[in-house]
Amino acid sequence: MASPIINGYHTEVMDSDNDESEYEFKDYYSKDKTMELRDIYIPACTQLFFRENPLKIVRSQGTYMYDQLGNKYLDCINNVAHVGHCHPYVNNQVYKQMSACATNNRYLHDNTVILAERITKTLPKGLEQIFYTNSGSEANDLAIRLAREYTGNYDILVLDNAYHGHLLSLVELSSYMYKKMTNQQKMPEHVHVVPTPDVYRGKFRDIDYNNDEVKLCQLYFDEVRRIVEEAESRGRHIAIFLFEPLQSCGGQIIYPKGYLRKTFDYLQSKGILCLADEVQAGFGRCGTHFWSFQSYEEDLIPDFVTLGKSMGNGFPIAALVTRRDITNKFVIDGIEYFNTYGGNPVSCRA
Amino acid sequence: MASPIINGYHTEVMDSDNDESEYEFKDYYSKDKTMELRDIYIPACTQLFFRENPLKIVRSQGTYMYDQLGNKYLDCINNVAHVGHCHPYVNNQVYKQMSACATNNRYLHDNTVILAERITKTLPKGLEQIFYTNSGSEANDLAIRLAREYTGNYDILVLDNAYHGHLLSLVELSSYMYKKMTNQQKMPEHVHVVPTPDVYRGKFRDIDYNNDEVKLCQLYFDEVRRIVEEAESRGRHIAIFLFEPLQSCGGQIIYPKGYLRKTFDYLQSKGILCLADEVQAGFGRCGTHFWSFQSYEEDLIPDFVTLGKSMGNGFPIAALVTRRDITNKFVIDGIEYFNTYGGNPVSCRA
């Protein structure tokens, strides 16, 4: 796990090992040549930042990125470099582990369990079993499999404008993405969308309700109940509710206090599992708490938490944490989960 | 890309940088303690090799792995360490890139296009556009999205006993895995399964047909045509045919000569796209050719090729290669594909 301590005991490593001049890299191609080759080989639907004049970044350290001419940019938008670009402590650890042993998780390895122990200690009691994956998308996809197996239900409840990943199973429930597609007018039958509790631009707004947070919370919660009841009246059965505790791509939305509590209580009492997607906002990014769902009420207990992006400071690692009785359903049903890279010793050390 | 040259010009790096004693790692826990912690934190459905007495591997170099007592094992089953465990050339490259710049692929970067150029040069002309992903599963999942968008069809054709990955979209078409699950008797409606052309244990066997490879090829191909025609007569429309050129989990099957040619000609003439899943067998593993589909006939041209596992010698990277007219369909339809880690400069350098 990327250590969150930047200015503490790791700085000695930073000072001694981080001679920047060592990492001045040869720039193989001119920027025009890189763009030309990219046009040939990289599909145009994988877009660059800055359409008019995209940046060619050749070096990044701490909070800065540098282009091929040596221009320095303060990076305010990066979604991965959690403890600063190219933190030498993380990189040294990855290098050491890659040099010692890099294999798959069908062997015993200490890093696998050490990381699991450290992560689960930051989470509510009961959330103690961890699946390692390579991306937040893989973690969300796996959670849906588990929830369906555990509940016997198939359907999925999400917030409007959600983004939960790029896989087939997730695109169809990420209305943020789904809406961008031309030929699809409505969501698939098994996906139920509730209005995002956005008191600024949402269905119910603070200016219309005199900033009454209790009232707004109730109105948005009533929407959840209405949509679940409607679905059930049509014979649909919901397995899982996925949500981003701080909706990210959808506009950095903070929900009214009490909303998640009410929603959890209602859904969990019906046997619907709740998944907090912490891929974007987790690992301390919300400031006050290590996980953003804890920033509402500290004793909220989701059934699943998914982690990603910042977890390895750039090294691909992600995870799904859940309860033992949920993972046991896979064991009982004889389902094996194997992910070639997931939980390999190098990722865990990152 | 992991360089396939082990005993050539890279050996100098190996000799100079690979002082094994440097990487003698502290073993944090006893093997019993590791197993105990694993029982707590790691779901039992993520199985270890060797159920009775699993190995605890703490170090691996070249073709050997070492357990916590220093016992040495010749590794005959590893599916990732393509140029030997912990190859120092690969590791040094990864470390250097992690130290210089590790960000996402929304910036221009030379490594992205250099790797794309090198990979596409090994493939038939026309297969020149590459999506980077974190796993073979993500690559196959994306190919299905593209094929559906491109053809307007939804259904999928696969070989029996196929394994194409662990995601929701792939489990349901990997009959190798699907059959292991208890509650599912038949495949989903949109998945059509043809008999694997296995002349040793399959539906038609060489001993019954006097080793007549032409005859066996025809019999297995007739099965493809029969199943496609049956599906079409029920109003189903197939978008894509996924296959492993050398079926791996399904038993290391080599198909009769001519089978892929006939199957490609038939399916492609109907507008069904063909995907060669090279995740397990690619990057020279079949011996004679760099890609295993080329080992049948060198001028076979799939519409998609997916790569993974051995690609980064342990570093999580995978890819989907396809034609420009297929990726253009995403562009025209306004679909964007973004993968946080996919195609980052570090992976590409690995």
Is B100's CB within 8 Å of A59's CB?
Answer: yes
Nearest to A122 by CA among A329, A255, A276, A337: A276
Cβ neighbour number for residue A97 with a 10 Å cutoff: 24
Over residues A107-121, mean pLDDT: 73
Task: Please tell me the distance in Å from A238's CA to the nearest CA on chain B.
Answer: 17
| pLDDT for B9 beyond 70 | no
The CATH classification number of B11-86 equals 3.90.1150.10
Mutation target vs B (from A113, A305, A313, A335; most B CBs, 10 A cutoff): A113
Is B166's CB within 8 Å of A107's CB?
Answer: no
Nearest to A162 by CA among A142, A182, A136: A136
Task: Please tell me the distance in Å from A285's CA to the nearest CA on chain B.
Answer: 17
In this structure, CATH architecture of domain A11-94? Alpha-Beta Complex (3.90)
| pLDDT for B296 beyond 80 | yes
**B34 contact residues in A (CB cutoff 8 A):** 108-110, 113
Nearest residue in chain A measured CA to CA from B319: A42
| pLDDT for B271 beyond 90 | yes
The total number of residues shown for chain A amounts to: 350
pLDDT band at A9 (very low <50, low <70, confident <90, very high): very low
**pLDDT of res. B105:** 52
What are the pLDDT digits (tens) for A155-181?
A: 999 999 888 988 888 888 877 666 665
pLDDT band at A253 (very low <50, low <70, confident <90, very high): confident
Is B80's CB within 8 Å of A340's CB?
Answer: yes
Mutation target vs A (from B40, B103, B132, B347; most A CBs, 10 A cutoff): B103
Is B34's CB within 8 Å of A117's CB?
Answer: no
φ, ψ dihedrals at B221, nearest 5°: -65, -40
**A100 contact residues in B (CB cutoff 8 A):** 23, 25, 58-60, 86
**pLDDT of res. A71:** 76
**pLDDT of res. A198:** 94
**pLDDT of res. B185:** 58
Of residues A141 and B184, more confidence is placed in A141
Cα radius of gyration rounded to whole Å, chain A: 22
Distance CA B275, CA B145 (A): 12
| pLDDT for B162 beyond 70 | yes
Cβ neighbour number for residue B99 with a 10 Å cutoff: 26
> Is residue B209 classed exposed, middle or buried when 0-12, 13-18 and 19+ CB atoms within 10 A define those classes?
middle
Domains A11-94 and A101-349 share a fold: no
Element (DSSP H or E) covering residue A40: helix A31-41
Is A108's CB within 8 Å of B341's CB?
Answer: no
Contacts of A39 (CB under 8 A, 6+ apart): none
**Percent with pLDDT over 70 in chain B:** 62
Distance CA B289, CA A314 (A): 34
Over residues B216-225, mean pLDDT: 97
Helix axes A136-151, A324-332, angle to 10 degrees: 70
Is B86's CB within 8 Å of A109's CB?
Answer: no
Domain boundaries, chain B: 11-86, 101-349
CB A240 within 8 A of CB A147: yes
Q: How far is CA A320 from CA A1, A279, B304, in A?
A: 14, 10, 30
**B328 contact residues in A (CB cutoff 8 A):** 44
CB B10 within 8 A of CB B3: yes
Is A338's CB within 8 Å of B88's CB?
Answer: no
Nearest residue in chain B measured CA to CA from A315: B341
**pLDDT of res. A188:** 85
What are the pLDDT digits (tens) for A291-350?
A: 889 888 888 999 999 987 656 555 567 889 999 988 886 666 555 544 444 444 444 454
Q: B162 is written with which tokens?
A: 């196929």
Size of interface A-B (CB pairs under 8 A): 353
**A185 contact residues in B (CB cutoff 8 A):** none
Minimal Cβ distance to B129: which of A43, A135, A167: A43
Of residues B93 and B42, more confidence is placed in B42
Lowest mean pLDDT among A111-115, A223-227, B79-83: B79-83
Distance CA A58, CA B112 (A): 12
Distance CA A307, CA A80 (A): 12
Of residues B57 and B315, more confidence is placed in B57
Minimal Cβ distance to B338: which of A46, A112, A339: A46
Minimal Cβ distance to B41: which of A78, A116, A134: A116
Minimal Cβ distance to B337: which of A29, A46, A183: A46
Fold of A101-349: Aspartate Aminotransferase; domain 2 (3.40.640)
Nearest residue in chain A measured CA to CA from B106: A48
Average pLDDT score over chain B? 75
**pLDDT of res. B343:** 42
Helix/strand/coil (H, E, C) string of chain B?
A: CCCCCCCCCCHHHHHHHCCHHHHCCCCCCCHHHHHHHHHHHCCCCCCCCCCCCCCEEEEEEECEEEECCCCEEECCCCCCCCCCECCHHHHHHHHHHHHHCCCCCCCECHHHHHHHHHHHCCCCCCCCEEEEECCHHHHHHHHHHHHHHHHCCCEEEEECCCCCCCCHHHHCCCHHHHCCCCCCCCCCCCEEEECCCCCCCCCCCHHHHCCCHHHHHHHHHHHHHHHHHHHHHCCCCEEEEEECCCECCCCCECCCCCHHHHHHHHHHHCCCEEEEECCCCCCCCCCCCCCHHHHCCCCCCCCEEEECHHHHCCCCCEEEEECHHHHHHHHHCCCCCCCCCCCCHHHHHC
**Percent with pLDDT over 90 in chain A:** 31
pLDDT band at B20 (very low <50, low <70, confident <90, very high): very low
Nearest residue in chain B measured CA to CA from A47: B106
What are the pLDDT digits (tens) for A88-97?
A: 666 666 666 6
Nearest residue in chain A measured CA to CA from B338: A46
| pLDDT for B269 beyond 50 | yes
